[in-house]
Structure 1
Amino acid sequence: MGHASIENKTPLVLEPLFLADEEMRPLLTLVVKATYDIGRDGLTLADEQVPVNVAGEYWGVPEESGYRYEPECAFIKPATDVVLVGHACAPAPGTTEVLVALQVGPVRKAVRVVGERVWFKSMGSISMTKPRPFERIPLRYERAFGGWDRTDPDPAKHGFEPRNPVGVGFRASPRHFEEGLRLPNLEDPEQPLQRFGQAVAPASFGFVSPHWQPRASFAGTYDGAWTQKRKPLLPKDFNRRYFNAASPGLVAPGFLQGGEPVALVGASPLGRLAFALPRVIPKATVELAGSEDVHPALNLDTLILDTDEHRAFLLWRASVPLRDGPHDVRSVRLEAEGLPVVSTESGEGANMEGKT
């Protein structure tokens, strides 16, 4: 048979991906992405809709930085990730500390952002310098507590903070003092760093990388039994919560529905932002060979607020089990309530086959 056809009757981006679940059963995963401009008066649908980011994007070198945008190619997320990308913005010259607070419907989080500080030793005691004034500080895990301790001459004794290997300030022992060691700029206001050698929870609003804790704990057990009995399938104890990549406290219970109030303080030069999420309901129809049309429920499972670019990204996702593979799919049609109707029928099915 020929390639499947795609009819997108919305201004949003539709990306069909051919993936597999835990048991390597073939799936058609539909990812729908909306781009909105953030303004003082709320959200407006952007003229340019940003494509689905299948590869993802790091802030810097992958081994030394976290994700700016995670790869948008999971076959499922069991809840909605809420992510903030941007900078803490000082309200006035001379600011040394600001509280960044985000609330989206049922989820809320606050992070204390402090100017540059270092540890120093004076008369036998270890203290931190007073924070320096700042204008903007990145809200990235590289500025939160964590990192590596490589002070021991034996590399085998090097250690790291498993919740944030790319952060700053981690030392495996209070005996590993280093003059001028940076302190984190981002802190949990309920658990500030107070003494050298203290281990606190990394605080940020960004994506948690797959190999960081606690996310990595949901990946399952890769031991000898897995190698002998399950490989290359995922382990039996794999938990789909692994696919949720938002920071602790920013995974919504269930899925956001649209219409939820959003409030953001301290992370935009526009000042306090307050608006409601758009009430958009994408609806997909999938025609499969030899069966009735399927109408999978598209769940809003990712919200990214980027106050550097003043854009908001909303992603919906649904997966349809396939009998054999991509050739099962005859057509995909996307419509949406709450958006103007457009007519864009394309032969993108020629490209669908390679999207994995």
Structure 2
Amino acid sequence: MLQVRNETPFSPSMFMFPDVRGMDTLYVVVKATFTFRKGRLFIAENQQPVVMADTFRGEPGQSSIRAASEAHLLKPGTDVLLEGEAHAPRGKPVASCPVLVRVGPVKQVIQVFGDRKWRGGVLSPGISSPEPFVKMPLVWERAYGGVHEVTKERVLGKASNPVGQGFCGKRGGSEMVGRALPNLEDPRQLIRSISDDPVPMGVGPVAPSWEPRKSYAGTYDEAWRTRRAPYLPLDFQAEFFQVAPAGMCARERLKGGEPVELINVSLEGVQRYTLPRCGLSVTVKIAGLFERPPLHLETVGLEPGSGRVCMTWRGAVGCDKRALKVEEARFQLLSLEGAED
């Protein structure tokens, strides 16, 4: 019987999947949760579990992902994700304010506006003044995007964010009057007219059916069904497992120890700290032999409103025809810097 020995204060998990080559592979995962208080990080008393499946904010396929599945193959980089809200500086209502998320080399800047609509103009619709806000959800529903149902048979949409707002499609100026603009924008590419088609700006997970993830999934055609199924297609790319939006994925994996700077995403206004350095080890016993796969930091999840930081590492052990001979997995914390008990 498989035994799991967890000698860490964190949440471990294991998954058995075929890898991109179709070889049975054991994926070992460690998820560490820390709390941020008074400028310091502590090991959280309540450790967050590994997420087994995508969870949505509303109807699946019609809303954004709240928490992305952590049951998958290896990621080629490190995702930085943030769950939370924009907060007006000093808690006073503002029409607009910037948000900054920086973790090591990863940086995302978003200009957050209060609610606005397209209003009638002599030649083309103009933009109404933003309504002051104190808090604004940092969700894809508030970013640029959406769909336009031209006919029942023809639906146009922003492939990188079909749940957003502001997408024009084939609508004319009069049809856009009264429609909402996005609250979250790229400060370098602000919307000026209904014909503008900017890149959606977000800090949360990208759904697997959205671009660019969809384009990495590969080709599932007749050749795949007859020669390759149920394994991944030959043109599948591991970038599919990267769920962070553009600007929030470190192509060279983070390691821990990176500085974090968050501005206007909490009541404090500014949060600064350093990611913990965790020396982790997983020893897997398969058919009497021991394997120690390297662990890679794949996800940094930030929840500044609740003062929570999650870091997830993953390693892989090829099992080939030994999948039923996995006997034990021992998870150990060898060292920890930058966080306290």
The residue correspondences of 1:285-324 to structure 2 (distance < 5 A) are 285-290=283-288, 292-324=289-321
Indicate the residue corresponding to 1:82 in structure 2: 80
Give the AA of the match of 2:133.
F
Q: Which runs of 5 or more residues in structure 1 are unaligned?
A: 341-356
Q: Which residue of 2 aligns with 1:351?
A: none
Q: Quote the Cα distance in structure 1 between the aligned partners of 2:324 and 2:209.
A: 34
Uncovered stretches (5+) of structure 2, i.e. residues with no partner:
none
Structure 1 distance, partners of 2:230, 2:283, is 32
Partner of 2:108: 109
- What is the aligned partner in structure 2 of residue 350 from structure 1? none
TM-score after normalising by structure 2: 0.94
What is the match of residue 238 of structure 2? 240
Q: 1:9 to 1:94 in 2, by over 3 A?
A: closer
C-alpha deviation, 1:307, in angstroms: 2.1
Identity over aligned pairs, percent: 36
In structure 2, the residue matched to 1:354 is: none
Contact 2:76 2:251 in 1 (8 A): no
Structure-2 separation of matches of 1:75 and 1:113: 34
Give the partner amino acid of 1:175.
G
CA distance in 2, matches of 1:105, 1:77: 18
How much does 1:339 deviate?
Answer: 4.3
1:322 Cα deviation from its structure 2 partner: 0.9
Partner AA of 2:303 in structure 1: D
Offset at residue 195 of structure 1 (A): 0.2
- CA-based RMSD: 1.6
Tell me how far apart the structure 1 counterparts of residues 98 and 38 of structure 2 sit (CA, whole Å). Answer: 20
Instruction: Work out whether 1:139 is the aligned partner of 2:138.
Output: yes
**How far did 1:223 drift?**
2.7
CA offset at residue 174 of structure 1? Answer: 5.1
8 Å contact 2:18–2:231 — kept in the other structure?
no
Residue 166 of structure 2: aligned partner: 169
TM-score (norm 1): 0.90
- Whichever residue aligns with residue 34 of structure 2, its letter is Y
Report the counterpart of residue 160 of structure 1 in structure 2.
157
Alignment of 1:144-293 (within 5 A): 144-150=143-149, 152=150, 154-173=151-170, 175=172, 177-290=175-288, 292-293=289-290
- 1:198, CA displacement in angstroms? 1.6
For 1:99, the equivalent position in structure 2 comes to: 98
SS across alignment from 1:111:
strand
Which string of whole-angstrom CA distances, capped at 9 and with x for unpartnered residues, describes residues 267-295 of structure 1?
A: 011220000000102101111105x3101
Deviation string, structure 1 residues 60-94 (Cα, Å, up to 9, x no partner)? 21122111110111121111000111100011423
Structure 1 SS opposite 2:225: helix
CA distance in 1, matches of 2:249, 2:321: 34
Per-residue CA deviation, residues 289-327 of structure 1 (Å, 9 max, x unaligned), is 05x310100111100001232211100001111133542
**How many Å separate the matches in 1 of 2:309 and 2:301?**
6
1:347: which partner in 2? Answer: none
| Cα distance between partner residues in 1 of 2:57 and 2:142 | 12
2:329 corresponds to which of 332, 338, 350 = 332
Q: Secondary structure at the match of 1:156?
A: coil
Over 3 Å counting, the alpha-carbon distance change for 1:233 and 1:326 in structure 2 is closer
The count of corresponding residues between Structure 1 and Structure 2 is 335
Contact 2:117 2:179 in 1 (8 A): yes
Give structure 1 regions of 4+ aligned residues with deviation exceeding 4 angstroms: none
